[in-house]
């Protein structure tokens, strides 16, 4: 009976959240980090923003990522490859993450 009451209160107070099916697991992404490199050498991390708005089947391109930065900014988009752990230029043709 005691275990039932503990489980009952735990379920009420701490319900389990169902994982959003549209959220791509980080292990399925082709990058560990995505960033914008400005001409003056400043580097900004945009990984969380790009990951949050990425969906399966969506084409992630540099044009799409330009929405993450202020207008009239010229940047070079870089990423760290998950397989080689090398920093690379983000391909202009982009990536499509398949589910």
State how far the Cα of 37 lies from the Cα of 11, in Å rounded to an integer: 46
DSSP codes, 31-74? EEEEEEE-TTS-EEE-HHHHHHT--TT-EE-HHHHGGGS-TT--
- Prediction pTM value: 0.72
Q: Rounded distance, CA 53 to CA 23, Å?
A: 8
User: Which tens digits make up the pLDDT trace of 11-61?
Assistant: 777 766 655 556 788 888 999 999 999 999 999 999 998 988 888 888 999
């Amino acid at each position: 009976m005691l275990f039932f009451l503990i489980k009952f209160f735990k379920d009420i107070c701490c319900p389990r959240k169902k994982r959003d099916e549209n959220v791509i697991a980080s292990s399925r992404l082709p990058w560990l980090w995505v960033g914008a490199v400005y001409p003056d050498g400043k580097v900004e991390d945009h990984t969380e923003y790009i990951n949050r708005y990425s969906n399966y089947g969506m084409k992630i391109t540099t044009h799409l990522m330009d929405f993450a930065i202020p207008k009239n900014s010229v940047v070079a988009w870089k990423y760290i490859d998950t397989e080689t752990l090398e920093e690379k230029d983000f391909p202009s043709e982009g990536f499509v993450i398949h589910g």
